[in-house]
Structure 1
Amino acid sequence: MAKKVKKKTTNSFTKFIVWFWILFASGIAMVALIFLSASWGLFGKLPSYEYLENPQTNLASQIISSDGNLLGKFYLDDNRTAVKFEELPDNLVNALIATEDARFQDHSGIDARGTVRAFAYLGSKGGASTISQQLARQLFVGVRSRNKFETIQQKIKEWVLAIRLERSYTKEEIISMYFNIYDFGNNADGIRSAARIYFGKEPKDLKIEESAMLVGMFKNSSLFNPMRREEMVKNRRDVVLAQMAKYDYITEVEKDSLQAMKMDINYNPETHSVGLATYFRMYLQRFMKDWISKNPKPSIGDEPDKYNLYLDGLKIYTTIDSKMQANAEEAVNEHMANLQAEFFHQNTPDRNKTAPFLDITPEETKGIMERAMKLSDRWRVLKSQGKSEKEIRESFDKKTEMTVFDWKSPTKEKDTILTPRDSIRYYKTFLRTAMMSMEPQTGHVKAWVGGINYRHFQYDNVIQGSRQAGSTFKPFVYAAAIDQLRLSPCETRPDTQYCIEAGKHGNMEPWCPRNASLRYSGNSYSLKKALANSVNTITAQLIDEVGPKSVVSMVRNLGLTGDILEVPSIALGALDVNVYELVGAYGAFANQGVYVKPVMVTRIENKDGTVLYEYVPETKDVLSKDVSYAILDLLKGVTQGGSGTRLRTTGANKWRREYDEIITGYPYKLTNPIAGKTGTTQNNSDGWFMGMVPNLVTGVWVGGEDRSVHFKSITYGQGASMALPIWGLYMTKNYADEELGISKEDFEKPSNMSIEIDCNKFTEGIKEDNNSEDDLEDLDF
């Protein structure tokens, strides 16, 4: 009997062993079959090997300044810029591995120990997703389903794809792809955007505690949002630091010290309406769309044949200098805030019943408001929704909550309740501005400010808006006269009433321009002093001598493209120009008579660094060296004893001292050679200043959106008061940074100068008008 029991026990053990191996083999076969089924696409289509080796992620196009800084990006949903592994600091990589996948270097996509632990404890002691699996989910699988069966399918696909990723990429490449693909919230797509937005720095400069915070956000960036739940994010950061200490990436002492630190967020939002050079970026967007339409993309198979500005990760290298751009924006903000305060003071309801409009009838005011309503987004949207005109008009008189622009607020915004009609009138009260700065020898535009605030005033006055040039056009008349008649800047003309008869130069009626002072001194002025003080009567004599046709021909060669009538009145600036073209034209004076078309983009590359576009300069010889230098000599007189003297000193006039002290708070006390020209149009509607040093030409315009929005008196309304201070502030800031290399030298004089500019040889017979108002701008009446 004993032998029979032993035999039965042996048979039972043998069967157990057999069944064990059968079940084990079946399990292995089942797992293998599941993986094979997944790879065959039975659980859903998987990406091809070709796509796997080149996963397509949306990359924002970068706008890069001439000094190598990032000005901004073009993107739709993904503000992402790829970063290589070498650009990631060790503490960031260590924080990720310690927190998300401690055995990352030892597995091939699936962590067996972690998977067994997750099954054994049903996930209560942590999940088993490796970095490779999480990357696979981000790239190819998508958001986890709530359906358990679909969740299992997704998990299996992640396993298969994780193994494929490990075969296709190095560990370093997987790490960098993982950091680049993740959405950190607040438009921070990828680690580079996250580092810049949350800490204002590049990833390579992240500190340990900053890296720990960003890695902590991998758990759930929507939940762990530092801008909403700072304490929760700090706690999560401390968990990451504890993990780094656990795996010996930092010491316990370092961990305790870092966990004791407060969160130090330096929030720098990246959107299209905030940040540096917003107006320039919007111009660049139009430039790029035009370039893309004319330059097809080499396509393979079903790929699109056009570049996508928002997805293809283009690199756009621009001429803008980030420091000079910042100086320009600061100068605009500082002066315009003060100027606007004075404008508000002069246009209170008790001082001006039609504020902000001046000297117009109720009917004219109604017409302005009517046009503004019909051009508004509200009118366009409601009309597209099928609303009747009556309904649309009624909507403009219903009060609503809104955020409006406000100079006094630190954020330049305030919340208020207004009717849309009142908000239109409110925005009409703000003076607008435009400024562009260019290197005349290359045409490289260094700074571009199209307005006071892009978020609220999106019209770009640098290139979209054209306004009357006023006296800034006079140097072109003088240049034509000196060029064709070989006049010297020291030659004289009398300041007496001067008329050009009807029909002589195409004018329909006699033209008899007056000076701003409404008087004629009867004295003779040198051309240099006449231009410095913007004497209209002498400019009229010059255009009569040389003819409007010659002047128009010359300015066409200098890049002015608008409608310019060949009539005498253009001599006083009775034509519309924009800042972009006027700066380009003045650049020829500083570049020895050679016009160089302004350029903003020097090179475009694709995401792999292949050059797609390189700029070729467009130049034209327009004036001889001696003529252009003679004009510079004339224009230097403007800042030495004319309407631009404010750049040197406050001067003697009481009104000017008051303006400098109250509105600008300066003089600027610039002592280096400066060529410049102020400009003011009728009723003080437009104020201009064009300023030049040897390697920088800058134009500034200030005025209202409507010509009826202006200062009542010339004290505040002339170019020397509205526009010149911005130039003075800007150049003062530029000179404070010697690395910018802005010249303080004099303009280069031609070695064979054929035009006499030494006025000591022309002094006989010249009687100076000692009663002239040197700062008063002569206008086109």
Structure 2
Amino acid sequence: MAKAKKKSTNKKRSKLNFKFFLKLIAVGLISVPLLLVLFYYSIKGGVFGELPADHILSKIENNVATEIYSADSVLIGRFYLQERTRTDYDNISPNVINALVATEDARFYEHDGVDNRSLLRVIFKTLLLGDRSSGGGSTITQQLAKNLFPRKDHGFLSMPVTKIKEAITARKLETIYNKKQILAMYLNTVPFGENIYGIEMASKRFFNKKAKYLKPQEAAVIVGMLKANYTYNPRLFPEKSLKRRNVVLYQMLKYNYLDEQQYNSLKKKPLEINYTKITHNTGIATYFREYLRSELEDWCEKNTKPDGSTYNLYTDGLKVYTTINSSIQKYAEAATSSHMKELQQIFNNHWNTGNPWNAQKSLLTAAIHSSHRYKQLKRKGLKEKEIIEQLNKTVPMKLFSWNGDQEVKMSPIDSIKHNLTMLQTGTMAMNPDNGDILAWVGGIDYEYFKYDHVNINTKRQAGSTFKPFVFAAALEAGVDPCDFVSGEKTTYTNHSDWSPGNASADEYNKKYTFKGALAHSVNTVSVKVLEEAGIENTIDLAHRAGVISELPEVPSIALGTAPVSLMEMVSAYCTFANGGYAVKPRYITAITDSRGKVIKRVKEEKSKNRVIKEETSMMISSLLQAVVDEGTGARYRSKYKMTNDFAGKTGTTQSNADGWFIGYNPEIVIGTWVGADNPSIHFNSTGLGSGASMALPIVAKLLDKIQDNKKLRPMGYAKFSPLPDRLARYLDCEAEKEDKQFMQWLFGKKDGQDEENTATFGEEEEEEKKNIFNKIGNIFKKKKKD
């Protein structure tokens, strides 16, 4: 009985346990889905963070780089946080679309943002069976959601919360956008490594072409990078990239985007890329782009979008259209590199037996004290001796050289010495008719030398390139250009006994007309012509022409001792080239928003501000043609064999610290400056350090390339209008003659013997003196204004 009773009790217990187990199962079957539903709706309701609202999803904007375009529609640079260019679906090659769908989401056109079959595969194979080869299960739309809205950390619930959020967002996106729009948005947001985002940038970076022109094998390379953009980077890992490309091609075959013949042909092709990188520091017009960046930042801060917020230069995808001509810019950069490489070697050989700072130790000391490393150590509290010890230690570094970047081990002080002796340059080309800047080369290499030698705030003494303004002012004042002016040396007692000298001793014993004085850049004559023109008149003319820098009222301005910028001088020379009008430099024509709507337009302005008479501009151009044909700029003809109409003026400052040449025809003005950043670093020979030697070659080489370009040839060969007969007769005189009468009558000595006279500048003599000064027309008397 007891045993039977016990068995009965056990059976009851078993039934109870079974019933309890069934209840648990039932509760589980009911509660787990309920919990999952609650979990889902808690995520949807914002318990784990707000989901993007529909109005936000309908106005998706990515951070898009501002793009800078040349006047001939060439992309020359970008400003960005993430290097990205947005593009439309129609501008993406079908090969890219096919490769993407075949590889990332084969049922993309069938689902509503979430692929339930892929999701079940992931749950059972990946989560339950641990098979990682089954894939991630995310659709293209879900990946787009992930790219648009970065994931957040939710602890151990991070993965399920994130996946559900992306699924909800993906379904919302599919209700707002069609499949083409989603594909375009995805391809515009996906990262491809190297801080580039979007198919357009990837296409340009790795194949140097627009995304719409990608071939199947190229599309397969780029789409293959989506799995791991570093591992499958074709530049860094070509073998891995090739294997991944062929996997993508196979997927395209599998889903009928390629046939068997196409696949077999394409997979045998070698991996070929055309890697092209344009960054802030590379590409063309780097100095110009940096100048532009500063200007655009100011513009963005002062201008607002329709929603009231200010523009962001680095994220709003602006397009900036400039006046730069990409061909002329490239030619200017090539001419600069070609000449400066040669000139630097000449300079190094010139100082082969010593250093420019040997006679002036303070030069090197000042350079050391202004270096970044010195200042860093100084801020750390090190004493002078300790700093110098640190700076003399050898460290790895990269140096600029004309034979390519050099990875070297060198002390910081040696690197300072290296950079101190590097010659720098600036070149600008401008359209004289409207002031459009056609080319801007601010230095020899922006990556290493950021200082811009074209920038209007960068000023050096202009030397003899200022003289044409003196002679123009004299012509405007009615001075006869055929009057002979003695080149004798004079000391001006009312200006601290200042005594300008000439480059050649022979010039003191000659008389010059305007033609000879400008052609041979005779300093003593230029100062006397300044006296005839009037200092105030000359300064006023230069300012109205475009020189905005301060010009002191001293006779030495005739020799270009006042510091001015290259931009000012090129602008001012436009007055001679265009018939006498001032022009304002223009470098931007328009700015558009990311959709192409014009938000700023800078109209072409042909100046109505006449600076000099048309006749004066024609005569100055004729006189400056003589400079090129037979004067200090004659190597333009003799060495570079240039035959086109061209006017110009060389300039060389004290101790050959600055070499200038500004040349022009009616359609282009080109100015070049060459020298070291520290004026105390220079050639000790005027033959090597003159403007004709240092600067003119860049202009000649640039013009030669312009003339070789079929489209630009008319500009390169533009001709000056012939002088009217009356002006031709007005200038029809000898350039120079020997001052024999003066030498014999005054001194009773042979020609060539150097004597010096004294005079006051800008003041009338109180009493008549029976000497040569009266006989040659009282050239020191101030010209009365009309």
Which bracket does the TM-score occupy, shorter chain normalised? 0.7 to 0.9
Show the counterpart of 2:480.
487
Residue equivalent to 1:323 = 327
Post-superposition offset of 1:317:
1.2
Shift of 1:308: 1.7
Deviation at 1:618, TM superposition (A): 8.0
Letter in 2 for 1:48: A
Q: Which residue of 2 aligns with 1:730?
A: 702
Q: Does 1:442 align with 2:434?
A: yes
Q: CA deviation at 1:718?
A: 1.0
Q: How high is the sequence identity, in percent, across the aligned residues?
A: 39
Deviation digits for residues 186-208 of structure 1 (CA, Å, limit 9, x no counterpart): 23222222112212222122222
Contact 1:141-1:157 at 8 Å conserved across structures: no
User: How far did residue 398 of structure 1 move?
Assistant: 2.0
- Is 1:589–1:632's contact at 8 Å kept on the other side of the alignment? yes
Question: In 2, distance between residues paired with 1:739 and 1:696?
Answer: 14
Is the CA contact 2:425–2:453 (under 8 Å) kept in the aligned structure 1? yes
Q: Return the match for 2:146 from 137, 141, 166.
A: 137
CA deviation map 1:279-301 (0-9, x unaligned): 1111111111222333344545x
- The CA deviation at 1:731 is 1.0
CA distance in structure 1 between the partners assigned to 2:356 and 2:468 by the alignment:
33
Does residue 95 (structure 1) correspond to residue 104 (structure 2)? The answer is no
What is the CA–CA distance in structure 1 between the aligned matches of 2:510 and 2:136, rounded to whole Å?
94
Match of 2:744 in 1: none
- Which position in structure 2 is the counterpart of 1:744? 717
Q: Post-superposition shift, 1:582? A: 0.6
Judge conservation of contact 1:435–1:449 (CA < 8 Å) in 2: yes
Q: Cα deviations across residues 19-59 of structure 1 (Å, max 9, x unaligned)? A: 99999998887665554333211333212222211223211
Q: Which consecutive unaligned segments of at least 5 residues does structure 2 have?
A: 1-23, 127-131, 741-750, 752-786
**Matched residue SS, 1:499:** strand
1:775 matched residue in structure 2: none
Larger deviation: 160-169 or 613-622? 613-622
2:509 and 2:739 in contact (8 A); partners too: no
Aligned residues: 710
Contact 1:230 1:263 in 2 (8 A): yes
CA distance in 2, matches of 1:74, 1:387: 38
CA deviation vs aligned residue, 1:383-429 (integer Å, no higher than 9, x gap)? 45555555544432222110011111xxx210111111111111111
Q: Paired residue for 2:414, among 409, 419, 422?
A: 422
Sort the Cα spacing of 1:547 and 1:598 in 2 relative to 1 into closer, same or farther, 3 A.
same
Cα distance, 1:755 vs. partner? 6.0
Residue type of the partner of 2:636? L
Scaled by the length of structure 2, the TM-score of the pair is 0.85
Pick the structure with greater CA Rg: 2
Matched, 1:402 2:391: no
**AA at the equivalent of 1:335:** H
Asked if the contact 1:676/1:692 (under 8 Å) is kept, the reply is: yes
After superposition, the Cα gap between the structure-2 partners of 1:24 and 1:729, relative to the gap in structure 1 and judged at 3 Å, is farther
Supply the distance in 2 between the matched residues of 1:584 and 1:459 (Cα, whole angstroms).
21
1:23–1:697 CA distance, 2 compared to 1 (3 A)? same
Q: Which residue of 2 aligns with 1:10?
A: none
Q: Counterpart of 2:368 in structure 1: which amino acid?
A: M
C-alpha spacing 1:621/1:31, structure 2 compared with 1 (3 Å): farther
8 A contact 1:63–1:315 mirrored in 2: yes
Kindly indicate whether the alpha-carbon contact (under 8 Å) linking 1:499 and 1:510 is maintained by their aligned counterparts in 2: no
**Is contact 1:81–1:190 with CA below 8 Å preserved after alignment?**
yes
User: CA shift at 1:216, angstroms?
Assistant: 0.5
Distance 1:755 1:480 in 2: 20
What SS does the aligned partner of 1:239 have? Answer: helix
CA distance in 2, matches of 1:91, 1:270: 25
1:502 aligned residue (493, 501, 514): 493
Partners in 2 of 1:347 and 1:169 — Cα distance? 69
| CA offset digits 1:119-167 (Å, max 9, x no partner) | 3332533332111000001111438x79663111111111001001111
1:478 aligns with 2:461: no
Distance 1:613 1:749, change over 3 A: farther
C-alpha distance after superposition, 1:311-363 (max 9, x if no partner):
12121111111111111111101111111111111212xx22xx144xx63xx
CA distance in structure 1 between the partners assigned to 2:306 and 2:109 by the alignment: 39
- Matching of residues 120-131 of structure 1 within 5 Å: 120-122=124-126, 124-131=133-140
Cα distance in 1, alignment partners of residues 662 and 722 from structure 2: 21
**Aligned AA for 2:147?**
Q
SS across alignment from 1:312: coil
Aligned to 1:468: 461
C-alpha distance in structure 2 between counterparts of 1:318 and 1:297, whole Å = 22
CA distance in structure 1 between the partners assigned to 2:298 and 2:368 by the alignment: 30
**1-side partners of 2:367 and 2:271: how far apart?**
47
Match for residue 74 of structure 1?
79
| Deviation at residue 528 of structure 1 after TM alignment | 1.6
CA RMSD, Structure 1 to Structure 2 (Å): 2.7
Q: Is the 8 A contact 2:488 2:510 kept in 1?
A: no
CA–CA distance in structure 1, aligned partners of residues 241 and 418 of structure 2: 41
Q: Secondary structure at the match of 1:47?
A: coil
Q: Summarize the Cα distance change of 1:605–1:218 in structure 2 as closer, same or farther, 3 Å threshold.
A: same
Question: Unaligned stretches of 5+ in structure 1?
Answer: 1-18, 651-666, 773-781
CA distance in 1, matches of 2:595, 2:427: 35
Q: Mean Cα displacement is larger for which, 160-169 or 558-567? A: 558-567
CA shift in 2, pair 1:499/1:368, >3 Å: same
Deviates more, 1:307-316 or 1:115-124: 115-124
1:152 paired residue number: 160
